Structure 1
Amino acid sequence: MTTASICAPAHAQGRRELGPALTQLAVERDIQILFQPRLVEGLRAGAIRRGASHDEALTAIVGSQGLKIVKLRPGVYALEAEGEFRRSPAPLLPVEARTEVEPIVVTAGYAASLARALTLKRQASYGLDAVSAEDIARLPAANAAEALQLAPGVSLERHRGVGLYVSVRGLGPQFQNVLLNGRSVAMNDLVENGGFRGRQFRFEVLPADVIDRIEIAKTTTADMDEGALGGNIDVRTFKPLELGRRDVLSVRASNGQSGKIDPSVSGILSWTDASGRLGLLAAGLTEQRRIRNDRLYQTGWGLDRFADVLGQGYYTPSRTRPTIELEDRRLTSGDFALQWRPTPALRTDVDLLMTRLDARYDEYGLDIYPDDRTFSPPRFVPGSQTIAGHTAQAGTIDNVRWMASRETSLNRHDLIAFGIHQRWELTRWTLDADHAYSKARSYHPDGRGTVRARAAFFAPLTYDFSGGLHAAPTLTTPIDYTDPAPFVGQAFDYTWKDSRDTDEVLRLDASRAVGLGKISFGVEQHNRTRDYRRRDWIVDTLVGVPLASLGPGYYGPTPFDDVLAGSPGDLPRRWIAPNARVFYDRLFTADLARQAPSVSDLRNSFVVEEKITSGYARADFASQWFGLPVTGDVGVRHASTHQVSDGVLSAGAEPIPARWRKTYDDWLPSANLRIELTSDLLLRLAASRVVNRPNVVDNAPRITLARDTPTANGGNPDLDPFLATQLDASLEWYPTSGGALTGAVFDRRLDNYITAQNTFIQVPGRGEVLLSTNVNGGDARIQGVELAYSQVLKALPAPLDGLGVQASLTLVRSQANYFAGDRVIRNALTGLSRTNYSLLGFYERGRTSLRLGYSWRGAYLTTIGNSITAPSHTAPFGSLDGAASWRIDRRRTLTLEGVNLTDARKYVYGETQDQPMEIHHWGRYLSARLRWAF
């Protein structure tokens, strides 16, 4: 999207004072404009055409009003009085023509940056919210996802305290389109613990330090890539011709629950030539973050596992595990940009982003299997139960397997994204050509896959979950789990995974001005590939061997004895853990590594290719309706999708290669209206038809067996995409004092909602297994209200006039009926929180800047469960984050930042809160940053 240059709409620009317009222009373009206030008193700002360069914009806004524009260097301008009044626009003078002035430097603090984001929203032809560079730099945000959490309608999903995924207006991460500089980008997959996330973009590979702004398009135009039911999230990196000549260096030291100091260094080098036609930029970041997440993990509450004692219809706990999760994350990222403007009619942009993340994972767990009959059936002690509703919240179970485990892995995530854009502005036509290629890979480097070493004993379990959601349960046994003597060896696992995504787009667009509007059309070829490979080796050599007989090098106590400190309850806080690396060195031999892939390995692997050919036509118009200025667009997009899914089925022990082909076409109309009720009050109306394709893992031909339970999940290549009709209306008020008050209502009607289907199958060597797959299962509807307010309280007396506030509230409801096995789920969609809100207060005066923000997300359905397992829900979670900055001098700024200042914990429960399931505690994360700007 091309950014408009001043806050006032075009018809009102002539009435806008020149001084505030210059300030707004400096904020939007992130440039410096030096002028004496007396020079602009009583003068009015001129209109600026869309797409104007910095020089052209400044010339147009100043006009012929007796002022001379002096370009001191790229990105820095001064205004002076001319000796003689001239009617023609003043030319831009070279650096040598500079004279002495008493300048006022317009800089962009948080308030000005907020104004820039509001200008983007106000001038957009469709529903838009934005977060700009100063918001990102001045908030404690490590990546693009964390920077988005203050945007209205956006909620954040944290993984061990790190923001990875976002939801927009109640729709989960798989329903968003994530773009980089307006281009589709390949998706990194989550390979640790065997999981994968399909179309959910992993935001941690886009570090905040290289981001100029993020735009969230909440309504659709025909030229936008199809595929977003929630929103199109466009992450824009810095550009040299917008920054001018600027060098920035930032160093940061951070500390979290790990107790170790995490270093980070980032920098930006931006250069332009003297003419302002050529610009080069390089930005980079290297950082280390060490994480400790204490977790109570549980796979769910099982139905009728002990019906012989409890009777029918009661839930009891399944696999439960106190866990210590340690991560050493090392991120290196480089961003490069080239801009060339040889003439006003010719523009070339080249972008390159390269990111590497190495996440070294180390997990200690003590698994407790209250209902696992794989080795020996457990027995519920009659009369020991405490019943709450349909849940046996407490009781004693004999013959339970207690298993100490140690899991290690190195999970590497690489992303390379390249794009080149060429624009030609001809006499009547504007032509655009864009090519984007990105490649993402998530994998385990050789020898550093997922290693799991285990040792176990059988003993009674006394459990009690009646302490409620915020307390740890009682999990006790008469056996000493800090002594290696009772433990014997279990199966050893080594797993290797490799997920490779490629994404390539070639796009051509043409547009032509027609009267007060514009017509445009374009074509696009979009190719995506997901190639997923997995191998599992299971070694039984040490099964049943006493752990103590192997020697002290094979085991040791967990590194901490305060697991989930602060959560009351009698559960294991320390235990004996196997040494995973020693087990690996002994058991994973060269002969084992050379074995051919098993049938199970082949069933776990797949390749899915999508080729999408699309075209669109769009008409923009401007008119007067009942005396009101109206702009808008109408258009239609056609997308033809050809999908090929390759995998392996099996009949007994024989692998059978399989290929599925699926082709479908979608016509997707859209319309947007922007009505200026007054000079500061806008009404927007929008309607569109959108498509969202199934998660890659859901339509892949695969079957993945769970290691420790008789369950599996598989793909369905015949899945149809989601289709939805979207209706939006919003009212936006931009008072002359600054800030904004906006409200929106939205309605999403989804066809072919995808739901679960459960079937029992026979698997050689495993017996009967419950297979969960996805099918198209019905309709769903999402309706909501979104409110946002931001204001700098300038009317307050000094020094309180530096106060400001930013707030948003989103209320959503869903209507849906679908199945999880034989259970009906009503009016609940996965990942949808009914209420989200954020509140941020800030203060800026002189050299001081303070910010304190709170983001809260309501409860949401996490998994839908199946016929024999309860669903799971994530409880409400709020995070208090803050930052304080002190500008030491013109070049240096010191900032202190804090994330999760209240030490909040995330909780998960089952069907009701009578079934507590999980606790996540990652603690506070505090940082100190020193920044130099040159």
Structure 2
Amino acid sequence: MTQKKILLVGVAAAALSWTAGAYAQEAAPAPAAAAPGEGAQGEQEIVVTGIRASLQSAQARKQNAAQIVDSIVAEDIGKLPDVNVTEALQRISGVQVARDRGEGGSVAIRGLSQVLVTLNAREIFTAGGGRSFNLQDYPAELLAGLDVYKSPSANLIEGGIGGTIDLRTRKPLDFDGFFASASVLGRYSDLIEKVKPMVSGLVSTRWNAGDGEMGLLLSGAYQERAYRSDVDGVGNPQPRNSTTFLPCTATGATACTPAGTISLPNGTYEPLIAGNRTRLGLDGTFQWRVNPELEFYAQASYQRFKDRADQWGLNKNIGTAVPTQVTLFDGTGDVATATFQNLLVQSFAAARDVIDKNQQYAIGGSYKGEGVKLSAEVTYQKSTNDLYYTDLSLRTTVPTAQFDIGGDYPVFALSGSDLTNVANYQIGAATRNENHYEGDQYAARLDAEFDIESAFLSGFNIGGRWARRSIDFQPIRFFNSTRQGQAASQTAGLFSPARYWGEGFYKQDSLATDFLTVDLGQLRDRFDGMLTDLGITGRPAVTPLGIYDMSEETGAGYIMGEFRTEGAITLDGNVGLRLVQTNLNVNGNQPVYTQNPGGAFVQTGIAPINLDNEYLSVLPSANVRIGIADGLQLRLAAAKTLTRPDFSQLAPSLTLVPGQQAGSSGNPGLRPLRADQLDASLEYYASPTTNVYVAGFYRKVKDFILTRATPNVEIGGIIYTLTRPTNLEQGTIKGLEAGGQTFFDFLPAPFDGFGVQANYTFVDSDTPSAIAGYRTPLPQLSKHSFNVVGLYEKGGFSARIAYNHRSKFLTGVFAAGTFPVMPTYRKGYGWLDASINYDLTDQITLTLEGSNLQRTPEEIYYDVETRPGNQSIDDRQLLFGIRFKL
């Protein structure tokens, strides 16, 4: 094992093994945290240093919340337990995350990806075809904590049938006076072998102003990450007549007689992806407490996320090619190896760049009088999302190609041709795609809370919210293959050798790495010039049929009563009703066709579309907490929730092929997804940092939205089979969560610094799929998942090692020829992270963190494991640096 590997793996081992020599002094006790219901509209707790204080504060938020809530609190200024917001969320029971190039991406709560994201209780979003906020956009260093609401109440914003994730930042009056903190870290990615910076800082101050006081907080964070992802992909299985494959043998001793239909992949796809991601986050908050009753605040936030990725590799197109020899996996009709002669191979290079920019502004205030609290807020936000994708391929014919998927990873070895010689290539196709989204939202809310003195009712809340959101989409599309087959040697200056280095799939001699691709620098920076060099006259242009703009206005009002009883068994909670009116306006274009005298249809123009849709939603909710004994409580919750259709699903664009009576479109008439949900949670709190819980949940979701072909749709007097998003039958999700945490304070020093967190989630689902009559579990949902986190904290030394595991899950379904419907799965996997922190002084902390320490592979297969799909691996990451505060 190399010295680098020993160091990386040692981060995990050291997190527990070094603790035996830790300082023996006791950690300072942490103060109690504020109630979880407080935060964006109330007083936020000041989070103190230390893992114990962090767990204590998070546990207090869970225990005292009005709803079923799980929380994560930064153990110090600018530091969540994980660098990435999504990766921190995966530690919560019931939350599963998808990976994107080795870091946390999208989030599902209890199986549902329709999740609302708020910032200090204000809805936020990233412009795009969806509705939610891209959690990758937000640097984790700016957050004080995260709250995951699994059951709603009437005063919470609607929109997430899965749940709501609230990102919480700090306010200047949270601190006693002047405060400053900063961090400087380096992040090393081992496959690409690069170190990139991560820096953050926070400055807060407060001063007297008349009878009150004012405060100002400024914070910022910049993250950069270089990454590499190796992908070794096998295409869809295709049914083939095996009588043409001779000779045929089995992989074992049993002879193979070719007969009937067997399964042969349609090719392989082997890109290497290398990129650089940057995140910038800025936040400023002004707070004016005029007196103990009256307060005003203003906040401005900005996030920018940029992903610049280079991709290059080989695409081997089996298509209808007939192999000269095959072997099968024993006892199956699935091809394990095959040899081909004169196979078409494409080399490719692609530049893919994504830029998200988000701005949020809020002005609000609150008044506390005797038995009443009033609060109001006005917000504005703007977001843009831009995608640029450019590629150019080369084509060549390879005399011999040997295909083998019977080993640890797929191999497609090529021989008989010099792939470094430009004379052996022809030009392929050129592509340029751009997506440009721009969205904004104005919103205002007014809330009133009244105390009630009675034996049962304790409070009465009423309020309303208005919001107007708009989205604009401008696509640019370009595809040209007019120079396909032209000798690449005529423009040899456009091409260069592919780049490979270090470990990964491509250290294997059996994977070709010595081939030519288009020069990525020219592809990204002078695409128009390349087209001129190739003699291509067309240029990328806006696609009129793809553009759309939408505006959505919502008005919501709620009424909620709070209740509480005292006695041997206590009872408290809330019951409320939220009414939401949604008005949607959709604008776009559709083609106009004319039938010529010969009977053929010709597109003669484009006509605008303007459509409106409106609906009223009635959303009742109830949350009850029963105090059974000291520290033991039972929660029960019931609610109706909704998630509105994605904007891409509502898109009005309509593409028709009259001669084939076929077409595709969006569907502005889609109904929202609605869910009836029931939740129960039994919780026991033995100490401020010790708890155990078990929870059950049930969701019945109506009007799932999936894309299907709808026959007999009349448009312009012609009957079409129209493929479009459609509201389908209902589905169910049910499951169980269990978990807990503790420190082993009963052990003798220094072992009393050890602690553990653990949780397990079981989720079972039954939902419709894109193929009529075929039902599946929810995609991207593992039936089983668990987290185990080992902790140690003593005398300024702290360590943490965290393991997350998911069982296999469905990634999609498709139908291939005469094969029945075929599901695709990702194999189950585990993810190991660790961290070590040491306080040099009360102000200075050294930190060492590791992520993806096992370099966990992604492995996908089609229905059965003898039909493998993509495999990929991503970097291990090592972070090291210093944090300090004043």
Question: TM-score range, shorter-chain basis?
Answer: 0.7 to 0.9
Residue 703 and residue 478 in structure 1: after superposition, are their counterparts in 2 closer, same or farther (change >3 A)? Answer: farther
**1:880 aligns to what?**
832
- Of the three residues 509, 519, 523, the one matched with 1:579 is 519
TM-aligned CA deviation for residue 612 of structure 1: 1.6
For residue 380 of structure 1, report the CA deviation from its aligned partner.
2.3
SS in structure 2 opposite 1:571? Answer: coil
Q: How far apart are the structure 2 equivalents of 1:517 and 1:222?
A: 16
- Within the alignment, does 1:671 sit opposite 2:622 as a pair? yes
The amino acid across from 2:68 in the alignment is G
Where does residue 193 of structure 2 map in the other structure? 259
- Tell me the residue number matched to 1:861: 810
Superimposed CA distance per residue, residues 81-132 of structure 1 (whole angstroms, 9 cap, x where no aligned partner): xxxxxxxxxxxxxxxxxxxxxxxxx953011111100000000011000000
Matched, 1:271 2:205: yes
- State the SS of the aligned residue for 1:228: coil
In 2, Cα distance between the equivalents of 1:685 and 1:463? Answer: 60
Provide closer, same or farther for how the CA distance between residues 264 and 701 of structure 1 changes in structure 2, counting only shifts above 3 A.
same
* Correspondence for 1:226: 158
Which segment drifts farther, 557-566 or 310-319?
310-319
After superposition, residues 206-245 of structure 1 pair within 5 angstroms as 206-244=138-176, 245=178
Q: What is the SS of the residue equivalent to 2:467?
A: strand
> For residue 384 of structure 2, what is the amino acid of its counterpart?
R
Match of 1:821 in 2: 771
**Structure 1 residues 327 and 53: alpha-carbon distance in aligned structure 2, compared to 1, 3 A threshold:** closer
Matched, 1:564 2:504: yes
Match of 1:617 among 559, 572, 584: 559
What residue in structure 1 maps to residue 550 of structure 2? Answer: 608
Q: Which residue of 1 aligns with 2:312?
A: 364
Between 861-870 and 800-809, the greater mean CA deviation after superposition: 861-870
Q: Distance in 2 between matches of 1:753 and 1:844?
A: 47
Moved more, 331-340 or 581-590: 581-590
Find the partner of 1:929 among 852, 858, 881: 881
Q: Alpha carbons of 1:550 and 1:664: their partners in 2 closer, same or farther (altered >3 Å)?
A: same
> Cα offset for 1:639?
1.4
Q: Please tell me whether residue 525 in structure 1 is matched to residue 462 in structure 2.
A: no
**Offset of 1:527 from its aligned partner?**
2.0
Which moves more between the two structures, 212-221 or 347-356?
Answer: 347-356
* Equivalent position of 1:403 in the other structure: 346
| 1:246 equivalent in structure 2 | 179
CA RMSD of aligned residues (A): 3.3
Counterpart CA distance in 2 for 1:311 and 1:777 is 40
- Where do 1:355-754 residues align within 5 Å? 355-371=303-319, 378-381=320-323, 384=326, 386=328, 389=332, 391-396=334-339, 400-443=343-386, 449-459=388-398, 462=401, 464=403, 466-467=405-406, 470-476=408-414, 478-515=416-453, 516-540=457-481, 542-551=483-492, 553-561=493-501, 564-565=504-505, 570-582=510-522, 584-588=527-531, 597=541, 601-624=543-566, 627-650=568-591, 651=593, 652-653=602-603, 654-702=605-653, 714-736=665-687, 738-754=689-705
Q: CA deviation at 1:701?
A: 2.4
Distance 1:722 1:143 in 2: 29
When residues 208 and 395 of structure 1 are mapped into structure 2, their CA distance, relative to the original with a 3 A threshold, is same
Shift of 1:312: 7.3
Distance 1:315 1:698, change over 3 A: farther
Q: Which amino acid aligns with 2:801?
A: L
Deviation at 1:146, TM superposition (A): 1.8
Letter in 1 for 2:478: W
* 1:915 and 2:842 matched: no
Q: What is the CA-CA distance between 1:643 and the residue it aligns to?
A: 1.9
Asked if 2 retains the 8 angstrom alpha-carbon contact of 1:635 and 1:669, the reply is yes
Whole-angstrom CA distance in 2 between matches of 1:318 and 1:140? 44
Secondary structure of the corresponding residue to residue 59 of structure 2: helix
Does the aligned pair in 2 maintain the 1:837–1:855 contact within 8 Å?
A: yes
Residue of structure 2 in register with 1:45 after alignment: none
Equivalent in the alignment of 1:283: 219
Give the superposition deviation at 1:596.
Answer: 8.8
Matches within 5 A, 1:50-89: none
1:541 is displaced (CA, Å) by 5.7
1:759 offset after TM fit, Å? 7.5
What residue identity is the alignment partner of 2:185? R
TM-score by length of 2: 0.85
Query: Given residue 403 of structure 1, which amino acid in structure 2 is its aligned partner?
Result: Q
Cα–Cα, structure 1 residues 380 and 352, in superposed 2: closer, same or farther, change >3 Å? same
Q: What secondary structure does 1:118 align onto?
A: helix
Alpha-carbon distance between aligned partners in 2 of 1:128 and 1:53, rounded to the nearest angstrom = 18
Measure, in 2, the Cα distance between the counterparts of 1:140 and 1:930: 15
Contact 1:451 1:580 in 2 (8 A): no
Task: Give how far 1:336 is off.
Answer: 0.9
Match of 2:730 in 1: 779
> Number of matched residues?
810
CA distance in structure 1 between the partners assigned to 2:243 and 2:669 by the alignment = 37
Maintained 8 Å contact 1:144/1:235: no
Deviation at 1:455, TM superposition (A): 0.7
Which range is displaced more, 435-444 or 720-729?
Answer: 435-444
CA displacement 1:279-338 (0-9 Å, x = unmatched): 110001123211111112455334569998788765432353111111122222111111
For structure 1, which runs of at least 5 residues remain unmatched after alignment? 1-19, 31-47, 58-74, 76-105, 190-195, 372-377, 706-710, 762-768
Q: Letter of the aligned partner of 1:186 in structure 2? A: F
Give the 3 Å change call, closer, same or farther, for CA 380–438 of structure 1 in structure 2.
same
Identity %: 26
Residue 120 of structure 2, aligned match among 174, 181, 184: 181
Counterpart of 2:269 in structure 1 is 321
- Structure 1 residues 931 and 298, CA gap change in structure 2 (3 angstroms): same
**What amino acid sits opposite 2:812 in the alignment?**
T
1:609-651 per-position Cα deviation (integer Å, ceiling 9, x unaligned) = 32222111110111247x4111011111111222222222224
Give the one of 112, 125, 146 matched to 2:66: 125
* Cross-structure match for 2:298: 350
Whole-angstrom distance in 2 between the partners of 1:902 and 1:427: 58
Deviations 1:418-454 (A, max 9, x none): 122211223443222122221111115xxxx322121
The offset of 1:796, in angstroms, is 0.7
* 1:840 aligned residue (789, 804, 818): 789
Letter in 2 for 1:843: Y
Go from structure 1 to structure 2 and tell me whether the alpha carbon gap of 1:576 and 1:340 turns closer, same or farther (over 3 Å shift). Answer: same
Using the alignment, how far apart are the partners of 1:178 and 1:201 within structure 2?
6
Structure 1 counterpart SS, 2:133: coil
Structure 2 counterparts to residues 125-164 of structure 1, below 5 A:
125-134=66-75, 141-164=82-105
Greater shift in the superposed pair: 861-870 or 919-928 = 861-870
User: What secondary structure sits across from 1:612 in the alignment?
Assistant: strand
My pick for the range that moved more, 107-116 or 388-397, is 388-397
The residue type equivalent to 1:361 in the other structure is A
* CA contact 2:71–2:147 (8 Å) conserved in 1: yes
Distance verdict in 2 for CA 1:327–1:669, change over 3 Å:
same
Q: Higher relative contact order by CA 8 Å / sep ≥ 6: 1 or 2? A: 2
Q: 1:297 to 1:357 in 2, by over 3 A?
A: same
* Residues 142 and 220, structure 2, Cα contact 8 Å, conserved in 1: yes
CA distance in structure 1 between the partners assigned to 2:111 and 2:609 by the alignment: 36
